[in-house]
Amino acid sequence: MNNLDLKIKLGHLDLKNPVITASGTFGFGREYGELYDINQLGAITTKGITLKPKSGNPPPRIAETYGGILNSVGLENPGIDRFIEEELPFLECLKIPVIVNIAGNTIEDYAIVAERLRGSNISAVEINISCPNVNKGGLHFGTHPDSVYQVTKAVRDKWDKTLIIKLTPNVTSITEIALAAQEAGADVISLINTLLAMDIDIHKRKAILGNILGGLSGPAVLPVALRMVYQIAKVVKIPIIGMGGIMTGEDAIKFLLAGASAISIGTGNFIHPTCPLEVLKGIEKYMKKYGFYSMKEIIGQLQ
């Protein structure tokens, strides 16, 4: 049992283990690369990239709350041109798959950004149709099956590698949304993005966040994320990346048992920078304890 088989497949991606970092919590990998060898992970996901640079939302942008954090960064990023010039060379030198998260104000924006990445060594794109703290795009596209289909199809026509669609939990029927993405050509579903939320400073009688509304992440959302992963795993035929409040190996195992093929860590990166490595160790510890050799013995095996 010393040689555990942690390999998994996501679309055309072969990962040596199921631990991925979540968009918006890992920058472009440079910062965490100074703290540990990020090539130990299964893959990393960049922060969201848009066609044009975005300055993001007014501060305050992040606030702690019970069991998690609220964020309203607003997809601040340098835009695709600077990303290709300044960040892509570093990312292409990594020894693990790199997933680029892309967002847009229009369907055409998504398609253009994806097309600009063709020919690079980027392994996959993750389409962010689920951001709850931007005024245009994002969440709007992710709340209706028709628009999910349209944006997925548009990117599919421009991108020939692994296509991941990131879903919002802020919908009535998560399974309808997932099925629309699958029908349009998605290779992988990732979920959940943050829950639409807010908090109030009663002494100032003002919202905590500058944008008033933001996204809730962290352990508080784990049961919601777990439920949605379980529901989607029952209806789709493509792999799922589960995320939402994962802090430990035990948390990760829950998502794998519920049907996720891989897991992604977000808020945990802020709390403890080496959280992904600790989660990976926790998965290995669980497998050794219960006599599992490969990931296929765990994924979707909820009794």
Q: What is the DSSP string of 85-147?
A: IIIHHHHHT-SS-EEEEE--SSHHHHHHHHHHTTTSS--EEEEE---TT-SSSTHHHHTSHHH
Q: Would you state the structure tokens that stand for residue 271, as one six-digit string? A: 């709390």
* Burial state string for 105-114 with b = 16 or more CB within 10 A and e = fewer than 16: bebebbbbbb
Indicate the SS3 state at residue 33: helix
CA 202 from centre of chain: 33
Q: What is the CA radius of gyration of the chain?
A: 18
1: number of Cβ within 10 Å = 10
Residue with tokens 């600790």: 278
131 is catalytic: yes
Catalytic site residue from 44, 114, 131, 262: 131
Give dist(CA 235, CA 237) in Å, integer: 7
Give catalytic residue positions: 131
